[in-house]
Amino acid sequence: MKTRYRNIIGPQVRKIRYQRGMTQEQLAIKLQMAGYDRSRGTLAKIEARLLWVGDHELFFFAKVLGVPLSALFPPINPQDPDLHETIDHLMTRRF
């Protein structure tokens, strides 16, 4: 049975955080200071794709990480004729 993950941004958030040289604790504190009150543990679950992330929450990640919203998503071609299958694949495979 394939696992259905709860978000597709987690691996991108982790990758960008690593690039910025930030720990999960540091990112959690910056998110809290920006008004997104989440703990390090919650951030770890988002990065592990265990928690759903609402669209309004993406703005906090983009702001704190200093990236455009599109950087939070894996590369996806919206013109892909098999877009549904591509998204389904992203939601069931580990990054």
Token representation of residue 38:
């989440």
Contacts of 21 (CB under 8 A, 6+ apart): none
Q: What angle do CA 40, 46, 47 make, to 5 degrees?
A: 90
Residue 32 placed within a domain: yes
CA distance to 20, 33, 42, 55, 59, per residue, from 45 (Å): 19, 20, 5, 17, 18
Q: What pLDDT digit, counting tens, does each position of 35-76 carry? A: 999 999 999 999 999 999 999 999 999 999 999 999 999 988
Residue 5 placed within a domain: no
Residue 4 placed within a domain: no
Classify residue 72 by its DSSP letter.
G
Residue 1 placed within a domain: no
**Residue the block writes with tokens 């609402």:** 54
The domain that contains 30 carries what CATH number? 1.10.260.40
Residue 37 placed within a domain: yes
Residue 3 placed within a domain: no
Domain that holds residue 81: 10-92
**Based on the structure, what is the number of domains in the chain?**
1
This model's pTM is above 0.85: yes
